[in-house]
Amino acid sequence: MTESVRDTPHTAAEPLPRRHAVFAVVALALLMAAQDQTAVATALTTVSADLRTDLAWTGWIITGYAVGQILALPLGGRLSARFGARRVFLLAIAAFTVLTCLCALSPGIGPLIACRFLQGVAGGVMLPAANAIVAHHYGRDRDRALALFTSVLPIGAILGPLLGGLVLTIWSWHAIFLMNAPLGIVVVVAGAFLVLDPPRSAPGRLDVRGIALLLGTLVTGMVAITVLGTAGLEPAGIAVVVPAALLAVAAGYLFVRHARRRTDAVVPWRLIAGRGLGIMNSTNLLLGAAMIGFGALLPLYAQTRYGMAPLAAGALLAGRAAGSVVSSGVSVALLRRTGHRPLLLCGMGIVVTGLLLAAAPPVGTTPEIWLLVAATLLGIGTGLTAPAANNAGMHLVPGDVAAMSGLRIMFRQVGGIAAVSATTAAVAAASSPGIAGAVALVVLAALLAGITLVAARLPNRRGRW
């Protein structure tokens, strides 16, 4: 999926002098993207009411962003190789900033979804370029720098819902998008002065057909689920749902056939099934549904079931992020001693517990405390699981680490898209939205429990690799 950072003469040499300033600039860009996703999650019900749109379609402002990012990840690596990571990074951040302003000015749900999709494309193009820039500036210390780079995401996950809830309380949903505009300007200006261009390499061929088939599968599937949730089984709904579902199946079949036939496909078949990869990809799919989907839907669930204010609902995600930050450090420290399998299974068990607790009615406390505990448990579980799952996938195919990393991101994003699309459609169609959200949590917990039993078959490995 993504391009690997090649070993150039410099990357094995001395780190560059301004590397820490460059790291701060690139980390600020990643923080923009991370907090943007979680901040928007606090505003789903408000946007739905303000734009007079069904909640199922409002969910597309999250899923549309994720689709754009999935499609742009393989593109970002190749663009960086051809035109230079510095240029691609600065243009992507500039585009992200302009699009976030256009999101704030959107007069309807259609333009808002379109801007969010393009924003996702800009964010997806930015990520491979950002990794290449950090690796180039840190030289032989790039492994530590890139590991630290990933810690920015949980920080954004903490700040996003808090800032989003606060802005929504004192202003409007439009201002949530405007929060990133000053940061984007700072990153573009500072990056233009500080960032040096890494050496370029010959880019591989871009699998345009594979990307188009993947886009077709995701979008038609989302349309079928959304229309089913808004129009139900009425004749008008069936007239859209059936063709969209058939198109999704056809595009999915063609995508799989294409992946099997083309060796350099955007999703190589050799990394989809066999040698435990099918189990690992299914695990990442459901983890994405829990990590991304739950993160996007928890504020919605808290507001529809318990009538929480946006700020209180958004603050629940801070508990999840805090739990994830702490437990991910524990997981990384224990990986070489225990191997990845015990941490993976333990973490997934905690995730299942957190989902079931969130679905259950509060016992002996307020809904705010009850959901905060559930969200924190989910954060602890995902924090334990994510590094272990990353490590497990790389152990299965040690010669394709970069491709496996991109595939892991793709499956998690697809899981998040499926969870958000299905749950928002169910909530929109239900007479009791809060109970529908609880049922969705129970279904996800059951699926995760099932894949946990299957994941116990994965081989374990301790020590260095």
User: Is the same domain home to 219 and 137?
Assistant: no
- Tell me the chain's radius of gyration from C-alpha atoms: 21
What pLDDT is stored for residue 8 in this prediction? Answer: 40
Closest CA to 340 of 464, 463, 460, 454: 460
What pLDDT is stored for residue 129 in this prediction? Answer: 81
User: Is the same domain home to 174 and 301?
Assistant: no
User: Is the same domain home to 356 and 458?
Assistant: yes
**Six-digit token string for 211:** 């990307």
Mean pLDDT of all residues in 403-431: 76
Domain boundary among 238, 261, 284: 261
Q: Tell me: the pLDDT tens digits for 284-333?
A: 888 888 877 776 778 878 888 888 877 777 778 777 878 887 887 787 77
User: Is the same domain home to 337 and 290?
Assistant: yes
What pLDDT is stored for residue 163 in this prediction? Answer: 75
**How far apart (Å, rounded) are the C-alpha atoms in residues 419 and 406?**
20
Q: Is the pLDDT of residue 3 over 50?
A: no
**Six-digit token string for 161:** 């819902």
Alpha-carbon torsion 413, 69, 299, 163, what sign? positive
Q: pTM of the prediction?
A: 0.75
User: Is the same domain home to 110 and 239?
Assistant: no
User: Is the same domain home to 110 and 254?
Assistant: no
Q: Tell me: the pLDDT tens digits for 248-296?
A: 889 888 988 888 887 777 777 777 776 677 888 888 888 888 877 776 7
**How far apart (Å, rounded) are the C-alpha atoms in residues 175 and 184?**
15
Which stretch of DSSP H or E encloses residue 50? helix 44-50
What pLDDT is stored for residue 311 in this prediction? Answer: 75
Domains of the chain: total: 3
User: Is the same domain home to 236 and 304?
Assistant: no
What pLDDT is stored for residue 5 in this prediction? Answer: 37
Q: Tell me: the pLDDT tens digits for 204-233?
A: 676 778 888 888 888 888 777 777 665 555
**How far apart (Å, rounded) are the C-alpha atoms in residues 335 and 391?**
8
Task: Give me the chain's average pLDDT, please.
Answer: 78
Q: In the structure, what pLDDT confidence band is assigned to residue 402 with cuts at 50, 70 and 90?
A: low
Q: Tell me: the pLDDT tens digits for 164-204?
A: 777 777 787 888 888 888 888 998 998 888 877 777 666 56
Percentage of residues in the chain having pLDDT higher than 90? 9
Please, are residues 197 and 86 in contact by the beta-carbon 8 Å criterion? Answer: yes
Q: Tell me: the pLDDT tens digits for 114-169?
A: 999 899 889 888 887 887 787 777 766 665 566 566 666 667 666 776 777 777 77
Q: Is the pLDDT of residue 11 over 50?
A: no
pLDDT higher at 83 or 438 = 438
**How far apart (Å, rounded) are the C-alpha atoms in residues 460 and 340?**
6
What pLDDT is stored for residue 143 in this prediction? Answer: 55
User: Is the same domain home to 148 and 179?
Assistant: yes
Domain that holds residue 152: 1-204
pLDDT higher at 370 or 274 = 370
User: Is the same domain home to 200 and 212?
Assistant: no
User: Is the same domain home to 432 and 302?
Assistant: yes
User: Is the same domain home to 328 and 432?
Assistant: yes
Domain boundary among 204, 221, 249: 204
What pLDDT is stored for residue 118 in this prediction? Answer: 92
Please, are residues 305 and 433 in contact by the beta-carbon 8 Å criterion? Answer: yes
User: Is the same domain home to 327 and 372?
Assistant: yes
At 339, which CATH number?
Answer: 1.20.1250.20
